[in-house]
Structures are given as C-alpha cells and as structure tokens.
Amino acid sequence: MLEPIQSPSKIPFIWFEANACSGDSISLLNAVQPNLRQIILDILDVRYWNSLMPMQGEAAVCKLAATVEEGGFFLAVEGAIATAEQGRYAIPFKQKERSFTSEDLLRWMAPKAQYIIAVGTCACFGGPSAAKPNPSGSKGVWEIIKEPVINVAGCPINPDWFLGTLFHLIWFGFPEVDRYQRPTLFYGKTVHSMCQRRSYFDTDRFAKKLGDPECLFSLGCMGPVTGADCPSRMWNDHLNWPVKANTPCIGCTQSGFPDQSTPYFVTLPKKMPNKK
C-alpha cells in the first residue's frame, strides 16, 4: 500500500508541451519512491497535461484558461519554443479560427505562474529541436520570457531531477542554480568527477573500442564538460547509466547539445577545439 505524501496542499499544475518528442513525459513514468501515481494523487492538482489528461478539445482549453486566470500554478514546459514564421511551426490548438502558437501560450502563461520549470534540454536550451539548421527557430524557454526559469536539463531527464526540483520548490522555494539556471543539487558536478572509470583516466588507460572496460574519453565521452550526477544516481530505478552500459556520455544536459557533442565517438578536443 502506498503511503500518502504529506504536502501543504495540492499544487495547481500545468505541463505544457511545445516542440518535443514527449520523451521527458515518458521518462517521468519511470519515477520511483515516489512514483508518478503518488505525485499526482498527493502533490499535484494536474489541470493540463496533454499526454496524461483524459479531457480533450474545447473542454481542455477552457480548463487551461481557467487555471491561468486563477494564477499561482506551477508551470512545466517540455520542448523548445518555435519562433520562426511567427511561431507557426508549433500550434498546440486553435480556438474560434485563431491559431495559438507555443510562443503565444508561453508568454500568456508565464506571468501568472508561481514557478516555471523547463523540463528537458529542448525546453532549456533548444536541444535537438534547435540543432542545425534549426528551420523552426526553436529556442529555450528562458530565451523567450523574462520570468525566472529553472532549467532541468537532459535528453531525456532523469525523473529524480524533476521531482527533486519540484519538492524543493514546494518546501524550500527556488533552488540554488548554476549559470545555466540548472539546480546545483543535480548539475553542480561533472559526470567525469563522479565516474566509476575515473581511475582509468587518471592513469592514461583508455578504451580502444566500445565494450572495453577502460575510460571512454578516447571514444568521445563528454563527461569532463557535462554537469550531471548520472554516475551516482543512475537510471531505471537507479540500475544503470550510459558508461556502465559501455557507451560514452554524450553531454545531453549541456546547452550546446547536440551540435557541440557531435560527431559522436570523436575525442572531446577534436569536436570542441575552442573549449577548455
């Protein structure tokens, strides 16, 4: 039997999806201790979440409008914001023959929100949606609005990163963030600094091919410049993470992802020659 989570009161909550693949929503389904069911039952009063809500059409739009008018809600944004062609690359819905773009809706909702969380690297920094040549003109949420944004980066996010940020906002307020507005709780150290293969790096023992047990820096690992606690937190109920599965970190929490991470499997100095 699941124990209820004690919260001051259920938080009005909007999860808004823009230019995205829904990967962050799907990743959040893998949350454990607490799981997403507990969060929805005990913590969040979900007013709008297109991937999960049974309501649709005009009824869903009216529910969204009423929540925004009320104000004081938590706003989670998944996906980049399209700005090219007046934002017409992303039109979540139409009402009375008027098309509402993701940019329109973000600018409408943001001033009324209590907190704004950009969920996933697309929402934070543009991510794959903004990869070259970026025909949709996709940008991160914090590039569009003036209100403070907490960037929970990842492609996709680890469920703990979002839930930990959510709990911090509820009980302690705005968390400490780095220069990219990411919570230092989760992004304050590099993958490299916590990696289980760090000793191989320190002794110049590098993998020659995928599957080798040594340090993967020689195969393009982005760990030295990537802020995230994947090595200690891991994924899938804290079971595994990329390097443990014999594949290099690709730097998916970083502001330049994926352009600055490619070509994959090429050493970091070669793909980022001007980076220190």
Sequence ranges of the domains in the chain: 11-187, 189-271
Can you read off the two tokens belonging to residue 184?
């230092």
pLDDT band at residue 275, thresholds of 50, 70 and 90?
very low
Residues of the chain above pLDDT 70, percent:
95
pLDDT in tens, 148-204: 999 999 999 999 999 999 999 999 999 999 999 999 999 999 999 999 999 999 999
Q: State the pLDDT at residue 268.
A: 87
Query: Which amino acid makes up residue 188?
Result: G
Alpha-carbon distance values, 254 to 4, 51, 126, 180, 210 (Å): 35, 26, 10, 9, 23
Q: State the pLDDT at residue 50.
A: 87
Q: What is the DSSP letter of 200?
A: H
**Mean pLDDT computed over 233-238:** 93
Reply yes or no: is the peptide bond before residue 231 cis, omega within 30 of 0: no
3-state SS, residue 119 = strand
Report yes or no: 142 and 149 within 8 Å, Cβ to Cβ. Answer: yes
Can you read off the two tokens belonging to residue 95?
């009402």
Reply yes or no: is the peptide bond before residue 92 cis, omega within 30 of 0: no
Report yes or no: 47 and 13 within 8 Å, Cβ to Cβ. Answer: yes
pLDDT in tens, 32-64: 989 999 999 999 999 999 888 888 888 999 999
pLDDT of 276 > 50? The answer is: no
Computed over every residue of the chain, the mean pLDDT equals: 93
* Alpha-carbon span 129 to 149, nearest angstrom: 19
Q: State the pLDDT at residue 1.
A: 39
pLDDT of 248 > 70? The answer is: yes
**Mean pLDDT computed over 83-111:** 91
Q: What is the DSSP letter of 4?
A: P
Report yes or no: 252 and 205 within 8 Å, Cβ to Cβ. Answer: no
Identical fold at 11-187 and 189-271?
no
Q: What is the CATH number of domain 11-187?
A: 3.40.50.700
Report yes or no: 271 and 260 within 8 Å, Cβ to Cβ. Answer: yes
Greatest alpha-carbon span in the chain: 66
Q: State the pLDDT at residue 261.
A: 94
Would you tell me how many other CB atoms lie within 10 Å of the CB of residue 184? 12
Q: State the pLDDT at residue 56.
A: 86
**Mean pLDDT computed over 63-92:** 95
Class of residue 202 by CB neighbours under 10 A (exposed 0-12, middle 13-18, buried 19+): exposed
Which are the contacts of 111, defined by CB distance < 8 A and separation ≥ 6?
A: 147
Q: What is the CATH number of domain 189-271?
A: 4.10.480.10
